[in-house]
């Protein structure tokens, strides 16, 4: 069972909906997944059971999932991210930090093996975009890539309530120049996308068996393609959430990205007009066009 938010055609208001395994879309009488989870808790049943009760006597939408204008599946107040949780990421970080001397014993090697994982602040609700929204490029970087990642959707207690797809856009040259520049290499307007859906945690048999694929198109031609699996993750999800929660407030609906396992070839950088597609088995496909940065104001 998956959860989406979409813009209702007539009222143009955000609407929560459940997607069944048969891909039927059922609007739900709640504003967010968090409300559904809270109500299920009161009833002492699992969110999936509560949703099954809710949709039992209703009809699905006539429109298919593809015909809907999808929004972020949750307005995550904060997005945090984990780093160097896959061997592939460790190698890529070493490459950019050492001008290609892959045998270097850097702090990336150390963090990969350390008890404490790398966890950093990635985005806020205002900077995060959903399916088909524009991802922006930084104007002061010449080496930018998407980072396709599994995202954990958390309750205020830090419980994993679902899984989504996230893109941790990154500037390899800025981070490679100096690790103290990490916030600038990672966080700017529209540098993070999540969606298209949240797969309810209790419906996932083994979260270490998600298949992740990333495709980048330029002028409608596939220019980068890579695949990996969460079974290559060095850490457990509980470990990552445990460090995020430690002495910290977790706002309900926070998303924790779990690190990248796919890195485009070293000579590749994103360009205006590219299209990024990230697919995760059971969750769906998150597609975003890439645009040169435009000035932003806070609404």
Which of 168, 250, 263, 283 touches Mg ion (CB under 5 A)?
A: 168
**Please, which of residues 227-246 interact with ligand DO4 by CB under 6 A?**
none
Cβ closer to Mg ion: 71 or 257?
Answer: 257
Cβ closer to ligand DO4: 153 or 187?
Answer: 187
Cβ closer to ligand DO4: 85 or 287?
Answer: 85
151 binds ligand DO4 (CB under 6 A): no
Q: What is the DSSP string of 99-130?
A: TT-TT---HHHHHHHSSSPEEEEEEETTTEE-
Burial of residue 64, with CB atoms counted within 10 A of its CB: 0-12 exposed, 13-18 middle, 19 or more buried: exposed
Angle, CA of 1, 169 and 293, to the nearest 5°: 120
Beta-strand pair 255-257/148-154: antiparallel
In three-state secondary structure terms, 273 is coil
Binding mask 163-182 for ligand DO4 (x = CB under 6 A): -----x------x-------
Contacting range for Mg ion; rule: CB under 5 A; set: 20-28, 108-116, 165-173, 201-209? 165-173
Q: Tell me which of ligand DO4, Mg ion, none is bound by residue 118, counting a contact when its beta carbon lies within the kind-specific cut-off of 5 to 8 angstroms.
A: ligand DO4
Closest separation in Å from C-beta 65 to ligand DO4: 28
Which residue's Cβ has the minimum distance to Mg ion?
A: 168
Length of the chain: 299
Q: What is the DSSP string of 61-112?
A: -SS-GGGSEEE-SS--SEEEEEES-SHHHHHHHHHHHTTT-TT---HHHHHH
Q: Is 171:97 a contact under the CB 8 Å cutoff?
A: no
259 binds ligand DO4 (CB under 6 A): yes
**Please, which of residues 86-105 interact with ligand DO4 by CB under 6 A?**
89, 93
118 binds ligand DO4 (CB under 6 A): yes
Closest separation in Å from C-beta 41 to ligand DO4: 32
288 binds Mg ion (CB under 5 A): no
Contacting range for ligand DO4; rule: CB under 6 A; set: 65-73, 77-85, 199-207, 209-217? 77-85
Q: How far is CA 285 from the centre of its chain?
A: 11
Helices (H) and strands (E) in the chain, counts: 7, 18
96 binds Mg ion (CB under 5 A): no
147 binds Mg ion (CB under 5 A): yes
What Rg do the C-alpha atoms of the chain give, in angstroms?
Answer: 19
Closest separation in Å from C-beta 81 to ligand DO4: 6
Q: Which parts of this chain interact with ligand DO4 (CB under 6 A)?
A: 81, 83-85, 89, 93, 118, 147, 168, 175, 259-260
């Amino acid at each position: 069972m998956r959860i989406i938010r979409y813009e209702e055609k007539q009222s143009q208001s955000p609407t929560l909906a459940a997607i069944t395994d048969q891909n039927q879309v059922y609007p739900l009488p709640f504003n967010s997944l968090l409300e559904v989870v809270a109500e299920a808790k009161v009833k002492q049943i699992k969110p999936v059971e509560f949703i099954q009760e809710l949709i039992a006597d209703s009809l699905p939408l006539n429109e298919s999932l593809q015909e809907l204008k999808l929004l972020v599946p949750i307005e995550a107040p904060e997005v945090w991210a984990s780093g160097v949780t896959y061997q592939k990421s460790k190698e890529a970080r070493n490459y950019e930090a050492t001008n290609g001397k892959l045998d270097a014993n850097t702090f990336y090697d150390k963090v990969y093996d350390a008890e404490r994982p790398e966890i950093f602040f990635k985005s806020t609700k205002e900077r995060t975009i959903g399916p088909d929204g524009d991802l922006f490029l930084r104007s002061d970087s010449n080496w930018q890539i998407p980072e396709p990642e599994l995202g954990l959707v958390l309750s205020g207690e830090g419980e994993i309530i679902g899984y989504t797809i996230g893109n941790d856009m990154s500037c390899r040259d800025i981070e490679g120049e100096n690790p103290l520049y990490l916030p600038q290499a990672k966080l700017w307007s529209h540098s993070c996308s999540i969606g298209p859906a949240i797969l309810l945690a209790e419906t996932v048999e083994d979260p270490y068996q998600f298949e992740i694929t990333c495709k980048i198109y330029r002028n409608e031609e596939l220019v980068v393609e890579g695949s990996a699996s969460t079974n290559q993750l060095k850490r457990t999800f509980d470990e990552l959430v445990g460090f995020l929660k430690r002495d910290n407030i977790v706002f309900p609906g926070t998303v924790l990205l779990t690190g990248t396992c796919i890195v485009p070839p070293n000579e590749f950088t994103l360009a205006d007009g590219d299209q990024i597609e990230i697919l995760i088995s059971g969750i769906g496909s998150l597609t975003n066009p890439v645009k040169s940065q435009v000035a932003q104001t806070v609404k």
